[in-house]
Amino acid sequence: MSELADFIRWCNRERTTLRRSLEMMESGIVHTSEVRPGLPPKDTTAESIARAKKNIVELDALLAKHAS
């Protein structure tokens, strides 16, 4: 199997994983947080959603470029 085929498969798996995570965060099923010593946990769900969306766009661009 070629390295390019492996890369494309990895991109597809990563995109699927990110989309599932994004769906769960946007629906409120999953929340992310940052644990800070001596302070209450900080909700980072909005940042995680933004990062997931950005990463999906980047993976889509890579797939569009290399999957043809």
pLDDT (0 to 100) of residue 67: 73
Q: Is the pTM of this model over 0.85?
A: yes
Q: State the burial class of residue 56 (Cβ atoms within 10 Å of its Cβ: 0-12, 13-18, 19+).
A: middle
Q: Which amino acid is at 24?
A: M
Report whether 27 contacts 45 (CB < 8 A): no
**Domains of the chain: which residue ranges?**
3-66
pLDDT (0 to 100) of residue 1: 62
- Mean pLDDT by 10-residue block, N- to C-terminus, for the chain (68 residues)? 89 97 98 95 97 98 87
Question: How many other C-beta atoms are found inside a 10 Å radius of the C-beta of residue 20?
Answer: 12
